[in-house]
């Protein structure tokens, strides 16, 4: 391997960004049947279905364009003193599958660590959030009707074969709520018409119509969804400050809803005032807000953290420490009150004096704690490293 997650999806990243990203679908033939075996196999899916005790809607079933009622494949279970009525019944899931239903495993990046890492790598490359679903379709079946999605997707074929058709754009850059209701009967001519084989990747930008069905064989694929930030988010970031603007807090003219002349008269001036205010905003401040939004909302990947916590008291100056795989950290020094580390789901405030040592340790693949000696005394460096291990940013080398 040695290639990045992004390259595994699109090949040449530069060419993809120039010619396809947000513009056009792309089919990329794969490098063989085992191309995605390290992230998910059919055996893995089998074990996820049968052994994980999943609850709806982590798994759902669709058939011929319709979602099956969860009550037909869930069961009741008692846990502690609680009655759960949404526990997936694997036996009934397999029965539905035998009768043509597609199994959808939702948000696998949350609990299947090879996919957590794959998605994390991809989202760090894009700095747009990424999620993944798995679709397992029996032979001669169709899961969803022709539709478009409101986020870009990479379809990665894991096993079996599926026939895909990608048509033109139904709506340019749809947002999450801009879905189309009702059946699409005339999607127009297909731009891509292909049998997706193991190792293949298909990129479908949001808004592009597509449909898929299996023929002779079953099919298992990953759909990686890219939940892009848009310019709408820039406006949202701007609007966060609007409440501080007195000129917008002024009440509308009394009686405006009965006779609106006064309102009509005042709107253009207010909009101009708003445009002046918006135009005078510091772009850096807005960019920083969006940057923080990404780095402060990444779910942690805490594989092995139990061992880390149990071995904290073994840490000494000679301990080898490294950045935890998949851990995110953004150093925010814009604030006056010290150093802020955005660690995905948590924010860590440290004294500003620690900036050089934090930069040092973030810049290294791995290091021994004694290497921090130029910056911190023996006690302080142990305290800092221990804290960063607890926060999930670093991990101690526990020797195999
Ligand atoms: Mn789709």
- Cα of 225 from ligand 1 centre, angstroms: 9
Q: Any long-range contacts for 240-244 (C-beta under 8 Å, 24+ apart)?
A: 240/289, 241/281
Q: Is residue 237 part of a domain?
A: no
337, 192: one domain: no
Q: Is residue 217 domain-shared with residue 250, that is, in the same domain? A: no
What's the mean pLDDT in 105-132? 96
Please give the distance, rounded to the nearest whole angstrom, from the Cα atom of residue 147 to the centre of ligand 1: 6
pLDDT score of 185: 84
Per-residue model confidence (pLDDT) at position 181: 80
Considering the entire predicted model, what is its pTM? 0.93
Distance CA(226)–CA(192), nearest Å, equals 20
**pLDDT the model gives residue 326:** 94
Is 92 found in the same domain as 207?
yes
194 alpha carbon to ligand 1 midpoint, in Å?
15
Residue 28's pLDDT is 95
CA 214 to ligand 1 centroid distance, Å: 15
Confidence of residue 32 (pLDDT cuts 50, 70, 90): confident
Q: Is 66 part of any domain? A: yes
- What is the tens place of the pLDDT at every residue in 362-394? 999 999 999 999 999 999 999 999 999 999 999
- Range with the lowest mean pLDDT among 11-25, 178-192, 224-238, 271-285? 178-192
Q: Ligand 1 center to residue 148 CA distance, Å?
A: 6
Asked whether the predicted pLDDT for residue 2 surpasses 80, the reply is: no
For residues 89 and 58, state if they share a domain.
yes
Alpha-carbon gap, residue 163 to 142, rounded angstroms: 10
- What is the whole-number distance in angstroms between the Cα of residue 377 and the centre of ligand 1? 55
pLDDT for position 335: 58
CATH of the domain at 391: 3.90.930.40
The predicted structure's pLDDT at residue 142: 83
Of 46-60, 229-243, 326-340, the range with the lowest mean pLDDT is 326-340
pLDDT of amino acid 188: 94
Mean per-residue pLDDT over the chain, rounded: 94
In a domain, 28, yes or no: yes
How many angstroms separate the alpha carbon of residue 144 from the centre of ligand 1?
8
pLDDT at position 334: 65
185 CA distance to ligand 1 middle (Å): 16
- What is the residue range of 314's domain? 305-396
End-to-end CA distance of the chain: 22
Residues 347 and 221 in one domain: no
Residues 181 and 42 in one domain: yes
Cα(382) to centroid(ligand 1), Å: 49
Question: Are 106 and 188 contained in the same domain?
Answer: yes
**CATH for 138:** 2.60.120.650
Cβ–Cβ < 8 Å for 222, 131: no
Scan for tokens 């731009």, then name that residue: 191
**Cα 142 to middle of ligand 1, angstroms:** 12
Q: Indicate if the pLDDT at residue 327 is higher than 60.
A: yes
Tell me the percentage of the chain whose pLDDT exceeds 70: 98
* Per-residue pLDDT at 261: 92
295 within a domain of the structure (yes/no)? no
Distance CA 73, CA 88 (A): 6
In a domain, 86, yes or no: yes
In whole angstroms, how far apart are CA 153 and each of 9, 150, 274, 367?
10, 9, 37, 38
Instruction: Output the pLDDT for position 332.
Output: 87
Give 59 Cα–ligand 1 centroid separation in angstroms: 17
Q: Kindly tell me if the per-residue pLDDT of 400 is higher than 70.
A: no
Domain count for the chain:
3
Nearest CA-CA partner of 200 in 4, 1, 29: 29
Give tens-digit pLDDT for 285-324: 999 999 999 999 999 999 999 999 999 999 999 999 999 9
Ligand 1 centroid vs 31 CA: distance in angstroms? 23
145 pLDDT tier (thresholds 50, 70, 90): confident
Same domain membership, residue 143 and residue 49: yes
Q: How many Å lie between the centroid of ligand 1 and the Cα of residue 195? A: 16
């Amino acid at each position: 391997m040695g290639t990045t997650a992004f390259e595994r999806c699109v090949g040449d990243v530069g060419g993809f960004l120039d010619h396809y990203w947000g513009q056009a679908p792309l089919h990329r033939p794969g490098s063989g049947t085992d191309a995605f075996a390290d992230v998910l196999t059919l055996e893995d899916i089998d074990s996820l279905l049968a052994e994980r005790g999943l609850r709806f809607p982590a798994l759902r079933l669709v058939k011929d364009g319709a979602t099956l009622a969860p009550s037909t494949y869930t069961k009741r279970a008692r846990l502690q003193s609680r009655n759960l009525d949404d526990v997936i019944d694997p036996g009934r899931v397999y029965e539905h599958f035998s009768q043509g239903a597609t199994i959808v495993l939702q948000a696998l990046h949350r609990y299947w660590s090879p996919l957590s890492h794959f998605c994390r790598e991809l989202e760090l490359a894009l700095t747009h959030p990424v999620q993944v679903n798995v679709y397992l379709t029996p032979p001669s079946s169709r899961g969803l009707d022709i539709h478009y999605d409101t986020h870009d997707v990479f379809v990665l074929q894991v096993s079996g074969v599926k026939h895909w058709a990608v048509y033109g754009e139904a709506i340019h850059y749809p947002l999450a709520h801009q879905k189309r209701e009702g059946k699409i009967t005339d999607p127009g001519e297909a731009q891509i018409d292909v049998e997706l084989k193991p190792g293949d990747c298909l990129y479908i930008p949001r808004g592009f119509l597509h449909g898929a069905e299996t023929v002779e064989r079953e099919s298992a694929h990953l759909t990686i969804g890219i939940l892009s930030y848009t310019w709408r988010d820039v406006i949202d970031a701007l609007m966060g400050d609007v409440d501080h603007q007195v000129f917008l807090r002024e009440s509308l003219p009394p009686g405006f809803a009965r006779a609106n002349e006064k309102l009509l008269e005042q709107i253009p001036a207010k909009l101009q005032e708003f445009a002046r205010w918006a135009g005078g905003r510091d772009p850096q401040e807005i960019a920083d807000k969006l940057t923080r939004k990404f780095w402060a909302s990444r779910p942690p990947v805490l594989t092995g953290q139990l061992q880390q916590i149990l071995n904290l008291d073994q840490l000494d100056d000679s301990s080898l420490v490294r950045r935890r795989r998949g851990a995110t950290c953004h150093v925010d020094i814009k604030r006056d009150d010290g150093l802020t580390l955005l660690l995905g789901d948590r924010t860590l405030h440290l004294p500003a004096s620690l900036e050089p040592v934090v930069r040092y340790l973030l810049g290294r693949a791995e290091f021994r704690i004694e290497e921090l000696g130029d910056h911190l005394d023996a006690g302080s460096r142990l305290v800092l490293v221990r804290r960063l291990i607890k926060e999930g940013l670093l991990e101690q080398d526990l020797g195999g």
